[in-house]
Chains A and B, each alone.
Chain A
Amino acid sequence: MHPSVFLAAAGPTLHFDLDFFLDFVFHPSSALIGGLAITIYASVIAQTVGVILGTLSALAGMARNPVLRAISGIYVWFFRGTPLLVQMFLVYFGTPYLLGVDLFPRELNFDPVSLRGAVVAGIVALAINEGAYMSEIVRAGILSVDTGQAEAAKSLGMTYGLTMRRIVLPQALRVIVPPLGNEFNNMLKTTSLMSVIAVEELFRVAQAANSATFKSFEAFLGIALYYLALTTIWSILQGAVERRLGEGTAASADTRVGLVARLLGLARPNSAGLGR
């Protein structure tokens, strides 16, 4: 038996195995380190692909072509309107039956690395889902840029693509980046849903530790601290990126939000530079 710490409280005694907890958190098993790696790279890949999908969807949604607009509309409607968990099962368990071929076998080779089929399926589901949310965020960003900017570019003879790349999207970024940061914060945590398709990410490692030891509170609190560390580090990075993007604008003085205020969600709603 591990020595337990008994915390006297008003009411029932609390049982907390401090030794197990500290060992779990500070001497992470190779499974835990592997889980941390999967959580990080799955978040980064899914978010990146999600941003690309979201940008394409936003542009399609504002296109003159009604077919493109319809595709974008249906995509956003379906993937924002259904649970990610359901989408994950559709992708991993459903597609082999639909297509008659398994897109996600045990190992998938992407030279020079090979990934587990389940990890790829999880990333695909996360990315497609994220793209639907990013589509709305990018659309709002593009709409926030005064139409005069695009008109001026056009009058200078710029093509649509050049206007978007050089004029509209860089200005839209100031509006897109703060919610994008929040999306990535969310993504770091949402990867835990991949546990249902047997991806050994952080949460699944805690589940395995729990079912092997029944130290439920210790294992899940331990994993919570790992997520908290990831989101905290991301908050710091996000703040730095936003300050950099905000430089040289009238609102920049107001966009500086302290770390504590950011972590506690005390940032003012218009601190994104909108509404000024």
Chain B
Amino acid sequence: MRPTSRILGVVAAAGLLAAACSGTAASPSPSSAPTSAAPASQSAAASAPASEAPSASAAPSIAVPAAITSAGKLVWCVDVSYPPEESYQADGTTAEGSDIDIANEVGKRFGVTSEIDNTGFDGIIPALLAKKCDLIISGMNDTPKRAEQVDFVDYLKVGQGLLVPAGNPKGIKTLADLSGKAVAVQLGTTNKDALDAANKDLAAAGKPKIDIQTFEQDTDAFQQLALGRVDAYSGDSPVCAYYAAKPDNAGKFEVGGNPIEPAPIGIAVRKEDSDLKTAVQAAIDGMYADGTMKSIVAKWGMTDAVVLLK
């Protein structure tokens, strides 16, 4: 679950390699820090024709794969049940959230539209591999296990929290505090993995296990806490903060603790689509360079709950 520098190194190296292959300026050594992908896109910008509007900072032009340009759209697999990162507006059809804004922004920088394909989280990687979409953006942690299946372009770091009833009557701050108690969590998430790992530790220590209840949709998992059927809800820190701060829930819940340190979340691409990955990396780098990422994070009230990569 934790980010490994190996993966980030590979991501950076692949980005640089692809940039070099596409005929731009020579790149620095692949062994440099993950953030070194940025110079590659900047040099690409320098050698590319200025197609963008002549506004303040020259937005780097991106080598968009021909298949995407000709399709005119990017299709994103998103599990639209994870506010504030992705959820539906009251109309039930318009997706919104930080991930949706980031997806739209990547599309804009590619010169194509972004289309959101709502996909259950536990089947989201198989859906990408089955080419039901081009990319995944769904608050997905970049984990070694998932990286065996897909490549990631990391864009934020997010920790995990536990949401509990206001006043935290059972004193739940850590995963171990959940021993013998019930927690609701979405299926297929790293949050579930963390709870499974905690259960192994508890079993080894001879303590009662956590009663883990898994749901298809994260919003269903949260609802279990709202109905008082479980003692806690496990979700990513920004999601816990969102539920606690939501006006409807005023004074009902609080974040008991954030037991899992921030770890990278990434946009997933198929391993064979290295051109697309390079282009997405360039778009994300551009969003960091011109402050777009920071403003999206601020717009969704996540500034305190996430860590920017740079």
A and B interact physically:
yes
Interchain CB contact (< 8 A) of B230 among A104, A106, A210: A106
Q: Please tell me if the beta carbons of A96 and B187 are within 8 angstroms of each other in the complex.
A: no
Task: For A228, list chain B residues within 8 Å (CB).
Answer: none
A5 interface residue, CB < 8 Å from B?
no
Q: Please tell me if the beta carbons of B149 and A198 are within 8 angstroms of each other in the complex.
A: no
The secondary structure that dominates the B interface is: mixed
Interchain CB contact (< 8 A) of A104 among B122, B187, B229: B229
User: Smallest Cβ distance from B145 to chain A, in angstroms?
Assistant: 8
Q: Please tell me if the beta carbons of A102 and B229 are within 8 angstroms of each other in the complex.
A: yes
A118 interface residue, CB < 8 Å from B?
yes
Interface residues of B in 125-176 (CB under 8 A from A): 125-126, 149
Q: Please tell me if the beta carbons of B229 and A208 are within 8 angstroms of each other in the complex.
A: no
Q: Please tell me if the beta carbons of B227 and A96 are within 8 angstroms of each other in the complex.
A: yes
Interface residues of A in 96-114 (CB under 8 A from B): 96, 102, 104-106
Given A93-B220, A198-B214, A208-B187, the answer on whether A216 and B228 have CB atoms closer than 8 Å is no
Q: Please tell me if the beta carbons of B214 and A214 are within 8 angstroms of each other in the complex.
A: no
The secondary structure that dominates the A interface is: helix
Q: Please tell me if the beta carbons of A207 and B229 are within 8 angstroms of each other in the complex.
A: no
Q: How far is the CA of A107 from the CA of B187 in the complex (A)?
A: 21
Query: Looking at A93, A196, A211, which has the most chain B CB atoms within 10 Å of its CB?
Result: A211
Q: Please tell me if the beta carbons of B215 and A198 are within 8 angstroms of each other in the complex.
A: yes
User: Smallest Cβ distance from B8 to chain A, in angstroms?
Assistant: 22
B275 interface residue, CB < 8 Å from A?
no
B182 interface residue, CB < 8 Å from A?
yes
Q: Please tell me if the beta carbons of A196 and B227 are within 8 angstroms of each other in the complex.
A: no
User: Smallest Cβ distance from A240 to chain B, in angstroms?
Assistant: 39
A174 interface residue, CB < 8 Å from B?
no
- A93's nearest neighbour on chain B, judged by CB, is B223
Interchain CB contact (< 8 A) of B216 among A104, A196, A210, A212: A196
Interchain CB contact (< 8 A) of A106 among B216, B223, B229: B229
Task: For A216, list chain B residues within 8 Å (CB).
Answer: 123, 126
Task: For A195, list chain B residues within 8 Å (CB).
Answer: 216
B211 interface residue, CB < 8 Å from A?
yes
Task: For A208, list chain B residues within 8 Å (CB).
Answer: 187, 214
Task: For A117, list chain B residues within 8 Å (CB).
Answer: 229
Q: Which range holds the interface residue count of chain B?
A: 20 to 34
A139 interface residue, CB < 8 Å from B?
no
Interface residues of B in 180-201 (CB under 8 A from A): 182, 184, 187-188, 192-193
Task: For B224, list chain A residues within 8 Å (CB).
Answer: 198
User: Smallest Cβ distance from B196 to chain A, in angstroms?
Assistant: 8
- B216's nearest neighbour on chain A, judged by CB, is A196
Task: For A106, list chain B residues within 8 Å (CB).
Answer: 182, 211, 229-230
Count the A residues whose beta carbon is within 8 Å of the partner chain — how many?
A: 19
Interface residues of B in 82-135 (CB under 8 A from A): 121-123, 125-126
Q: Please tell me if the beta carbons of A105 and B126 are within 8 angstroms of each other in the complex.
A: no
User: Smallest Cβ distance from A7 to chain B, in angstroms?
Assistant: 19
B213 interface residue, CB < 8 Å from A?
yes
Given A204-B214, A216-B126, the answer on whether A105 and B223 have CB atoms closer than 8 Å is no
Q: Please tell me if the beta carbons of A105 and B229 are within 8 angstroms of each other in the complex.
A: yes
Task: For A104, list chain B residues within 8 Å (CB).
Answer: 229
Query: Looking at A102, A118, A208, which has the most chain B CB atoms within 10 Å of its CB?
Result: A208
Task: For A102, list chain B residues within 8 Å (CB).
Answer: 227-229
Q: Please tell me if the beta carbons of A211 and B188 are within 8 angstroms of each other in the complex.
A: yes
User: Smallest Cβ distance from B191 to chain A, in angstroms?
Assistant: 12
- A213's nearest neighbour on chain B, judged by CB, is B145
Given A106-B229, A214-B149, the answer on whether A207 and B125 have CB atoms closer than 8 Å is no
Query: Looking at B192, B193, B211, B224, which has the most chain A CB atoms within 10 Å of its CB?
Result: B224
Q: Please tell me if the beta carbons of A198 and B126 are within 8 angstroms of each other in the complex.
A: no
Q: How far is the CA of A231 from the CA of B211 in the complex (A)?
A: 31
Q: How far is the CA of A93 from the CA of B221 in the complex (A)?
A: 11
Interface residues of B in 238-261 (CB under 8 A from A): none
Per-position 1/0 for B201-240, Cβ under 8 A of A:
0000000000101111000100110011110000000000
Q: Identify 8 new A-B residue pairs, CB closer than 8 A, beyond the known A106-B182, A198-B220.
A: A102-B228, A105-B228, A198-B184, A198-B213, A198-B215, A198-B224, A211-B187, A212-B193
B residues apposed to A, CB below 8 Å: 121-123, 125-126, 149, 182, 184, 187-188, 192-193, 211, 213-216, 220, 223-224, 227-230
Closest 5 CB pairs of A and B: A211-B188, A211-B122, A198-B213, A216-B126, A106-B182
Complex A-B: 12 CB contacts under 8 Å: A102-B227, A102-B228, A106-B182, A106-B230, A198-B214, A198-B215, A204-B187, A207-B122, A207-B187, A210-B123, A214-B149, A216-B126
